[in-house]
Chains A and B, each alone.
Chain A
Amino acid sequence: MIELQQLTKVFPNGRGIFDVTFTVRQGEVFGFLGPNGAGKSTTIRHLLGFLKPTKGRAFIHGFDCWRESVRVKALVGYLPGEIAFPEGMTGMELLDLLAGMRRMKTTRYRDELIERLQLDTRLPIRKMSKGTKQKVGLVAALMHNPEVIILDEPTSGLDPLMQQTFIDLLREEKQKGKTIFLSSHIFPEIERTCDRVAIMKDGRLMAVNDVHELQSMQRKLFDVMLSREEEVAQLLSSPLEVIHHDGRRVCIAVQGDYNAFIRELAQYQVQNLDLRTQSLEDIFMHYYDRRGDEQ
């Protein structure tokens, strides 16, 4: 459905994206993961025809994203990464404008979305909070029932409850057979929604993996607080990978084998257990760097 062939864009400052090639299949939820500045948005801007590739091409449904951009955009719903709306409008005026520009005939699905996201469309956009603006953007991206949905950092600004609503929405769209392409710099966000994931770093595509594969590759860090000081030494000599320890608190890295971890811990008096939030680099980049060194 979405096809990138050696897509390359070199900006005057030498940065950009280089030889990005991958395919998103129809009906798939495809995650696009990478730290800020990795080239995710640049890639997405090519899909919308905002940028002309230096080399290579991008297609959606067989249409060239630069040369046949109008046909592409008839199929696509897009949520930009930066929230900036035209000035001086209420939410509803903007949605009406975009519906008019899309020559939409029915607003039934749009009204349903507004209802579900609990969006007050009467507010002038400049008075809306970041999360509310994001909802307006989401409605604008989904309201015309597009075949392909492209979302650049969709959950930024949404509170956890709304994030869940959003994930439910995506699942429904997937069930309708939509192709969904979404970018993020947060793995858990991708993990919950996507089937496959592409990882970008410094403008290059590092890998395209099945999300389950990635989950098994992921190294999680647990902070274990033991009740008894004397057990610390015992835990340190266990086969678990201990990153560091400080008094009764021990930090343990687990990759894939959660059962061994749980079995070992069952022998101790555990007072508290915490999962450490890690940056994307901590989770994956070490893996790719290592693999890169081996090659």
Chain B
Amino acid sequence: MNVSLYKQMLKAQTKTIIGYSTGSAFYIVLVAAIYPSLADSKIINHYLQQLPSGFLKAFNITGMGNLLEFIAGEYYGLLFLLLGSIYCITAANQLLARPIDRGSMAYLLATPNSRQTIAFTQALVLLTGLAAIILTSAAAGFAADAWLVTNDALHQKRFLAINVSGFLLFFAISGYSFFFCAIANDEKRALSLSGGITVLFYSFDLIGKLTEKAEWLRYGSIFAAFEPGAIAQGQAEWLPSCLLLAIGVISYTAGIVTFSKRDLPL
């Protein structure tokens, strides 16, 4: 890693990271604040029971039983995925594909640092941002639990597990985005590859959940490895998280190695 590059790149990313972090934190607090007023509402519970189970599953809504299930369903089931995926794809693009495409990578590579060092540093900046966003979200959850919702305590361990599992999901997504950015000459191509695959994964997961016949589709989706609703109910599985970790490690390594060996159009 190169410290100067890390600092400067992180500084350039700060605004974006703060934006995503506050957005995420704000939404969690909002969801937590709404919860008490909905928890006791019979109408909503009745309404939820009437919805087809596939539909509820599709959006990770497991129930309104407690605050954690509510947050898991209302935030981690949908908006969190969207927010995190967009961050991963765009940040990887800004940190690697754009400097290659526009040629500014030439200045960084003209310094006596190996390509591995530079790619590794950029990857670290990307992951630091991701960690910051997830940490802020988790902190917001805990804070909301402490100050806003007094009568129904958050299951802290499971909430933490959701965040760790979420981080691993985005570790994998940012990993393959980083890899595509490392192999592409063109910023737009990198963006369409990583964006396209992510949308595809998400659709597989959604269709698989909605229709039982197509449930096998979920095996082809990275999003199936992240089930906030199940974790909230205490049915956490370790294997999918390990898979996410492995996908992340492999794609980051592949990205760094490819970047080190390829011709660069600088």
Interface residues of A (CB under 8 A from B): 45, 48-52, 69-71, 73-74, 76-78, 80, 82, 84-89, 93-94, 96-102, 140-141
| Distance of A199 Cα from B264 Cα, bound (Å) | 25
Residues of A contacting B4 in the complex (Cβ-Cβ under 8 angstroms)? 96-97, 99-101
User: What 0/1 pattern do residues 1 to 24 of B give for CB contact below 8 A with A?
Assistant: 011110110001000000000000
Residues of A contacting B263 in the complex (Cβ-Cβ under 8 angstroms)? 50-52
| Distance of A45 Cα from B106 Cα, bound (Å) | 9
Residues of B contacting A69 in the complex (Cβ-Cβ under 8 angstroms)? 114
| Nearest residue, chain B, Cβ from A94 | B107
Q: How far is the CB of B77 from chain A (nearest CB, A)?
A: 34
Contact (A93, B8) CB under 8 Å given A80-B107, A84-B102, A86-B108? yes
Contact (A85, B112) CB under 8 Å given A50-B264, A80-B266, A93-B8? no
Which 8 A-B residue pairs are closest in the complex by CB-CB distance?
Answer: A100-B4, A84-B103, A74-B112, A101-B111, A78-B110, A80-B106, A73-B112, A97-B8
A-B contact pairs, 25 of them (CB 8 A): A45-B264, A45-B266, A48-B266, A50-B106, A50-B263, A50-B266, A51-B263, A52-B263, A70-B114, A71-B112, A80-B106, A80-B110, A82-B103, A82-B106, A85-B107, A87-B94, A87-B98, A87-B104, A93-B8, A96-B8, A100-B7, A101-B108, A101-B113, A102-B112, A141-B110
Q: How far is the CB of B92 from chain A (nearest CB, A)?
A: 15
User: What 0/1 pattern do residues 43 to 75 of B give for CB contact below 8 A with A?
Assistant: 000000000000000000000000000000000
Residues of B contacting A98 in the complex (Cβ-Cβ under 8 angstroms)? 107, 110-111
Q: Are A48 and B5 in contact (CB under 8 A)?
A: no
Decide yes or no whether B109 CB sits under 8 A from chain A.
yes
| Distance of A279 Cα from B246 Cα, bound (Å) | 58
| Nearest residue, chain B, Cβ from A79 | B110
Q: How far is the CB of A126 from chain B (nearest CB, A)?
A: 11
Q: Are B110 and A86 in contact (CB under 8 A)?
A: no
| Distance of A182 Cα from B7 Cα, bound (Å) | 33
Q: Are B266 and A101 in contact (CB under 8 A)?
A: no
Residues of B contacting A140 in the complex (Cβ-Cβ under 8 angstroms)? 107, 110
Q: Which residue of A78, A84, A97 contacts B5 across the interface (Cβ within 8 Å)?
A: A97
Residues of B contacting A77 in the complex (Cβ-Cβ under 8 angstroms)? 110
Decide yes or no whether B99 CB sits under 8 A from chain A.
yes
Interface residues of B (CB under 8 A from A): 2-5, 7-8, 12, 94, 98-99, 102-104, 106-114, 261, 263-264, 266
Q: Are A101 and B5 in contact (CB under 8 A)?
A: yes
| Distance of A87 Cα from B187 Cα, bound (Å) | 14
Residues of B contacting A45 in the complex (Cβ-Cβ under 8 angstroms)? 264, 266
Q: Are A48 and B110 in contact (CB under 8 A)?
A: yes
Q: Which residue of A48, A73, A74, A101 contacts B2 across the interface (Cβ within 8 Å)?
A: A101
Contact (A70, B106) CB under 8 Å given A89-B12, A93-B8? no
Residues of B contacting A82 in the complex (Cβ-Cβ under 8 angstroms)? 103, 106
Q: How far is the CB of A7 from chain B (nearest CB, A)?
A: 14
Q: How far is the CB of A13 from chain B (nearest CB, A)?
A: 13
Contact (A86, B12) CB under 8 Å given A98-B107, A100-B4? yes
Contact (A86, B107) CB under 8 Å given A69-B114, A93-B8, A100-B4? yes
Q: How far is the CB of B85 from chain A (nearest CB, A)?
A: 22
| Distance of A85 Cα from B103 Cα, bound (Å) | 7
Q: Are A76 and B12 in contact (CB under 8 A)?
A: no
| Distance of A93 Cα from B7 Cα, bound (Å) | 11
| Distance of A160 Cα from B183 Cα, bound (Å) | 41
